[in-house]
Amino acid sequence: MAPLRCWRCLPPASGALLSIRRIAAITTISTSTFQPFSTSCARNAYGKGAGDSKPRKGVHRVGGKSSPPSKKKKGIPPRLKVAPGDRRAFRKRITLSNINALPVHLETLDSKAFSSEQSVGKILALGNETLDKLRRANAFKPTQSWNMFRKPSTLVRRETVNLCSKMEKNAQENKFLRCIISGERVAGKSMVVLQALAHAYANDWIVVNIPDGGYFLSVYMLYIDSLEAGETTDRRQTLGYDLVISHLDYAPIPNSNLWSLPTTIQGLLRQISGNSDLSKHKVVKSYPNLFPNQSPNLTLHGLANSGSSNDSWAVWQALWTELTEVPGRPPILMCLDGFAHVMRMSKYRTKQFEPIHAHDLALIKTFCDLMAGKMVPVQGGAVIGALSMSNQPMVKSVEYAVQYKEAQQVLQLPEEELPKREPYCREYDERVDEVLREAEILKVGGINKKEARAIMEYWAASGMYRHKVDERRVTETWSLGGHGIIGEMERASLRNSRI
């Protein structure tokens, strides 16, 4: 018999209970898993509680997102720290050769090259012996372009021939030359000083060189000796000293108002004994304070190398007396670059904390006495001071003396047209005026076109100048270089190849 109702209209027997269980289960899950105010799932939360927002251990959270930790790269050594003094040594490094440059066959410097008129406009190479002496004397500058060429060479200028011929003439007549080198910036003043040093070394003079009045590596020879002895290079940080800004050890000299620089003077003594042949000259006078039992065979080389830095000033006085007062000694050349730095008050202080004038430093006083004419060696020689326009301090007495000497000696103006002092200025120093009263002036300006062509042909032969050197190129470079300013010509021609 057929059923009265359709099978589809009849609910299942246990359907109500099952649907109730399922709805209850779904309701329970929804209340514990989903939140009505958030679209994120509770299972993805970092903590167990709703308020815990700290990431799990080992998980990085960046910008609200979690990322797995990155693995450390192994095998990379840690970066070494820069040793004290390395940056300064890198900044002040001097490279005297370039093996990538083409070799140029040049004449080598001899004893008469810089004083001969036939050498004007020529490029001369420095000999190995002269090169070593100039390196020990710290005559090269890091701003000079020695690292562009195969071998250190220099252009013989008209100013160089005039200066070296005067030096040679004064040495023959036992006279003393006092000269101040002035000129524009990057005109080659330091190069003229280097050429004067090379001329003196080639003629076996006694040379004392102070590379910079404001910045002086006083124990350069001590550093060379320490490297040869196998010591560590950590001493570089103690080798660079400023001459007048209170970075040197100094001590008062008894029974005087002077102050000595022991370490600096010891470095100069090593420089003199290393570059000059003092072993063939014997000590004539006796010095009981240094040698109680003085040997009759004591030489000037042994005198210069005797003692430590504590008695370096006494050794300097004895050596200077032997070189300046005893006849038959070689001529003396004393050079100082950065002349204006030592014509003012220094940063040194007395016990009463009063500033010390630079002329009260014994080493600077020796230079000033030579420049002023108070001390004249019997065998003659020269003293040269060069001005530096790159970092020259403003010293009124130096500026006025240079302007007056240039107008009087170079321009040869009449007396009524010479510059006058400022009447109400109190910055003039009488001690500086006394030093510069008898000095000559040598103004270094631009080179002529003949010398410019010679230096440009040398650049082209070395492979550093890629253009054809003709009259048009020479005139163009000479004009762009401020009418022959050698530093400006180099910038106009070799800027792209500067190392």
For residue 169, count other CB atoms closer than 10 A to its CB: 13
Q: What is the DSSP string of 250-299?
A: -EEPTTSS-EE-HHHHHHHHHHHHHHS--TTSB--S--TTT-TT--TT-B
Give me 56's structure tokens. Answer: 């799990």
Measured distance CA(143)–CA(136) in Å, rounded: 18
pLDDT of residue 290: 87
3-state secondary structure of 356: strand
Provide, for the chain, the percentages of residues in helix, strand and coil under a 3-state DSSP scheme, each rounded to the nearest 5.
Answer: 40, 10, 50
pLDDT tens, N- to C-terminus, the chain (499 residues): 455 555 555 555 554 444 444 444 444 444 444 455 555 555 555 444 444 555 555 555 666 666 666 666 666 677 788 888 888 888 888 899 999 999 999 999 999 999 999 999 999 999 999 999 999 998 999 889 899 999 999 999 999 999 999 999 999 999 999 999 999 999 999 999 999 999 999 999 999 999 877 654 333 333 333 333 333 333 333 233 345 555 678 899 999 999 998 888 988 999 999 898 898 999 999 998 888 888 888 999 999 988 677 788 999 999 999 999 999 899 999 999 989 999 999 888 898 999 999 999 999 999 999 999 999 999 999 999 999 888 888 899 999 999 999 999 888 888 888 999 998 988 999 999 999 998 999 999 999 999 999 999 999 999 999 899 999 999 999 999 999 999 999 998 886 554 4
* Contact of 235 with 344, CB cutoff 8 Å: no
* Contact of 156 with 120, CB cutoff 8 Å: yes
CA-based nearest residue to 278, from 326, 219, 243: 326
* Contact of 154 with 102, CB cutoff 8 Å: no
pLDDT of residue 36: 54
Measured distance CA(415)–CA(346) in Å, rounded: 35
pLDDT of residue 336: 93
For residue 88, count other CB atoms closer than 10 A to its CB: 13
Measured distance CA(118)–CA(112) in Å, rounded: 10
The one-letter amino acid code at 494 reads: L
pLDDT of residue 13: 55
Measured distance CA(2)–CA(34) in Å, rounded: 50
Measured distance CA(397)–CA(419) in Å, rounded: 13
Give me 293's structure tokens. Answer: 């039992």
Measured distance CA(48)–CA(181) in Å, rounded: 85
Query: What is the tally of helices (H) and strands (E) in the chain?
Result: 15, 14
pLDDT of residue 18: 45
CA-based nearest residue to 210, from 264, 148, 154, 149: 264
Which residues, in sequence order, are CB contacts of 238 under 8 Å at separation 6+? none
Beta strands in 105-258 (DSSP E): 107-108, 123-125, 153-155, 176-183, 206-210, 251-252
**Integer distance in angstroms from the first to the last C-alpha of the chain?**
114
For residue 388, count other CB atoms closer than 10 A to its CB: 18
Instruction: Provide the b/e sequence for 436-458 (b: ≥16 CB within 10 Å).
Output: beebebbbbbbbebebbbbbbeb
pLDDT digits 0-9 by tens, 148-161? 999 999 999 999 99
pLDDT of residue 93: 87
pLDDT of residue 321: 94
Measured distance CA(140)–CA(144) in Å, rounded: 7
